[in-house]
Structure formats: structure tokens, C-alpha cells
Structure 1
Amino acid sequence: MAELMGPIKALRRLFGRYVDFDGRSGRAAYAWAMLGLIGITTGFAFWLRTRTPAISVTSIFASDIIFVVMFLTYAVLAVPYASLHVRRYRDAGLTPWLLVVTVVAPLIALALESGVAYVDFTAYTLLLVNLFLGSLPSKRIYAF
């Protein structure tokens, strides 16, 4: 029977193999890691929403600190999540070059043209396609 992958083990494996772009990653490891990333993003969104809405020097400084912390967090998480995506796509039998279309292009589009309805819709749709492709079943490897 296969060993179950829990959230702690999945995140430990994510950071233990953070520069390993070879090999394969299962759906459970991918799902728990993506759930962790969604939790981090939700936490930052909540933090941004609850900061003081008054315009003052301290609130502007606080929002700058939030964005610096967000940038540093996502910069640290970029390589582990990129390697996880490459391994997961390979495990599902897909070429990792699809990540350029399903992750890189939407993030660039959101950074450059955020707020334009059709750009946002297309970018978020491609990110959802990425989640769907990452959840495809693993391809079996046959050794002779």
C-alpha cells in the first residue's frame, strides 16, 4: 500500500527538494504545497485588508513593509514551487515548457495590465488550467 502524504511531509519534501528539477512529484505533494501557497496568499490579502485605511505616514510605511515582506516571501518560494511544478508536470506526462503558458505568462500579464477585465480573466483562467494540469493522474513508468 502506498504511503500517505500529509501536509507536514509534503511541505518538508517541497523544501527538501527545492532545487531538484529532476524526477517526479505525486498529486498529494502538489496539492498540499499548493494549499500552503494559497494559505500564504490569503494571509497576505487579509493582512493588506486589515491595515489602517487612514492616510498617514505610518499607514503608508506599514503598507510598504507588507509589500516588502510579500516580495521577499514570494522570492524565497519561487524556486521550490517552480521545481515542484516541473516535477509534477513531468509526472503527469506533460512537458514542463507548458509552465511558460500556464504560470509565467499570466503572472507577467497581471503585473503589467492588472485591472483590465479581459487580461485578468485570461490570466486567472490560465492559472486555473495550471492547477488542473497539475492534478492530472501520474503516468506509469514501465521498466523492462
Structure 2
Amino acid sequence: MNTKKGFVAAFKDFWFRAGDFRGSSTRGQYWWIFLINFLLGLVFVVALIGGALSSFMAIGPNSNVNPFHLFGNVAGVTFILLLFWFLYQGLPSLSLVIRRYRDAGVTPWVLLLTELAPGIILAIAGRNTTGQVIAGLLRLADLVITLLPTRHPVPAWTTRPNEDSRTVSMVEAIPDFFRRGGVFSGRSSRSQYWWITLWGVIIGIAITIISVPFTVISVVSSLNSASGVPDLTSFFMYLGVLLGLTSLIYLPNLTLTVRRFRDAGVNPWWYGVLFIMQLGASAFIAGSKQFNWGFIIVGILTIVLLVITVLPTKQSA
């Protein structure tokens, strides 16, 4: 078990043990991350409010500039930053809560009741008071468990840093992808990278096939509700679940790409440059009316990324 304490140790542990589902994590390791997210949330809210106020105050009464356009720029950039921060925490958060349950002496399978069941109950019960109470009690049980002291410490799972690339099958690529989800060191071969890409395409197509009729049915049924008031609760619950599942692959995909760059003989810092440029282009698209330029930049960066990831392994890198 990792015995290091404090904010910095917990922060590093959170990210680098993203693929560790077998170890345990203390209360401090769990609640430091909660505190970090809470404080960052406050910072983003203050930044959003401050940006909105400054946008309105910067425009005089006789100005032709629409203050809502400036506010949209601030809100768009803030939303993108919050979205990316959430998405990249998907897998680390899941593995952390599993380790915390195990450390507290509770089998991680209980998470099906305390984390998954409340969402299902709310999706089915809607605004029913009984369903909301049951879901609330289950979430309260989750809180109590995460506050329990260490009862069953387990040694941290070895992630084998600096692991070399190897050829894998389509099935073998999946556990390798998640096991090394927080590992930036080492290498990943073309097969390790492109099998995951193919899986992403297949799953994306399947989700699209399911989502289109579900969305249509949800919207039509909500518009034809007896109360006359559209109820899109089930639709937004579905979007939340979809977003949560998607977040599980963001960090592993980042570390996989870093390892693929290194394996191809390209300094991984260049991926950092491409990544920051893609974030900037996304922020430009969200906060500007000139969408075409933003999409052109994203397209060029995607082509560069594609070329590098198809390069063969270079052992001398």
C-alpha cells in the first residue's frame, strides 16, 4: 500500500495509479482528490461569474456589441476546461473508489448498489419521492464507506514502468489499454494503438445506432406527456451515463498516444504541443463565430497525429 501522505502524493497517486484496480487507497488519498475538485469547481465558478460581469461592464450603453457574445466566449472556454477536466478523471476516479472500498474492508462490488443503483432508480422513478429517498440513502451509504478507516490494506499493483512495446491481438489490446491507463513511460506498438482505435470506431458506431432511435423516442414521448410539460429526464440521464462511460477512455488514450509517439521515434512532448493546439482550436470554435478556421486547424492537427501514429517502431528512439 502507498503510505505517502499529503496533497502532492495523493495527486500523483490518483493519476499514475489509474489502471490499479487491485490495490487499496486510504481516506487521505481519496478525500484529497475530492477537496481538489471542490476547490477547482469554486475557482471555475468564480471565473465564470467574473468573466460575465466584466463582459457586461466593459460595454458602454451606446455600444453595438452584444454583451451576450462576450459572455459566450467566457462561458465556452470555461465549459471546455471543465469538460476536459472531468473526462480525464473517469478511469482514475473509478479505480480510486474501488481501492478505497477495498481499503475500508468493503467489497468493491457494493459499488453497484451505492453508485450505479441510484442512477438507475432515478432514471426509472423520475420525480417519485420514494425513489429519490432510496437513491439518497444509497448515496449516503457510499459517503459513510469512503469515510471508514483502513481495515484491509493491499500492496499497490505493479504497473511495470518503461515497459517495451509488443505485438498484441485485438482482444489483448483491451486489458493492456486499461492496465497502463496512468503510465506515461514505456512504449506502445502500432498494434497496441490501432486495435484500440478500431475498438473505438466499432463502439462509436454501435452507440450511434442505439442513440438515434432512443433520442427520437425520448423527445417524442416527452412532448406527448399527459402533463403537457416536456420531461427529458430519461434523455439527460442517458447522456450522463454515456458521458461517464466515455470518460473512462480519455486518460488511457492520452498515455497510449504518448507511448506510441515514443515508440515511433518522436519526442512525446510534440504530442503535448499538438494537444494544447487542439485545445486552443476547440476553445476558438466554442467562443468565435468563425467556425471554419477552427475546424481547418483541428483537421490539420489530426492529419499530423495520424501520420505519426502509423510510423513503425524505432528501437533507437
Q: Aligned pair 1:62/2:74, yes or no?
A: yes
Q: What is the TM-score of this pair, normalised by structure 1?
A: 0.72
Matches within 5 A, 1:1-144: 5-53=5-53, 54=56, 55-104=67-116, 129-140=141-152
Q: What is the TM-score of this pair, normalised by structure 2?
A: 0.36
Q: Percent identity of the aligned residues?
A: 29
Give the Cα separation in 1 of the matches to 2:113 and 2:10. Answer: 26
Q: What RMSD in Å do the two structures reach over aligned CA positions?
A: 3.2
User: Structure 1 residues 4 and 21, CA, compared in 2 at 3 Å: closer, same or farther?
Assistant: closer
Give the Cα separation in 2 of the matches to 1:129 and 1:45. Answer: 29
1:56 is paired with a residue whose SS is: helix
User: Structure 1 residues 140 and 72, CA, compared in 2 at 3 Å: closer, same or farther?
Assistant: closer
The offset of 1:104, in angstroms, is 4.8
Give the Cα separation in 1 of the matches to 2:84 and 2:105. Answer: 32
Q: Deviations over 1:110-133 (max 9, x none)?
A: xxx8xx7x7998877765543332
Give the Cα separation in 1 of the matches to 2:49 and 2:135. Answer: 23
Segments of 4+ moved more than 6 angstroms: 118-125
The offset of 1:19, in angstroms, is 1.6
Where does the alignment leave 5 or more consecutive residues of structure 2 unmatched? 57-66, 154-317
Indicate conservation of the 8 Å contact 2:101/2:146, yes or no.
yes
1:5 is paired with a residue whose SS is: coil
1:85 is paired with a residue whose SS is: helix
The offset of 1:84, in angstroms, is 0.6
Letter in 1 for 2:51: R
Number of equivalences: 135
User: Structure 1 residues 12 and 132, CA, compared in 2 at 3 Å: closer, same or farther?
Assistant: same
User: Structure 1 residues 90 and 140, CA, compared in 2 at 3 Å: closer, same or farther?
Assistant: closer
The offset of 1:16, in angstroms, is 1.6
Higher relative contact order (CA 8 A, sep 6+): 1
Give the Cα separation in 2 of the matches to 1:104 and 1:67. Answer: 26
Give the Cα separation in 2 of the matches to 1:26 and 1:128. Answer: 19
Give the Cα separation in 2 of the matches to 1:50 and 1:120. Answer: 35
The offset of 1:106, in angstroms, is 5.8
Where does the alignment leave 5 or more consecutive residues of structure 1 unmatched? none
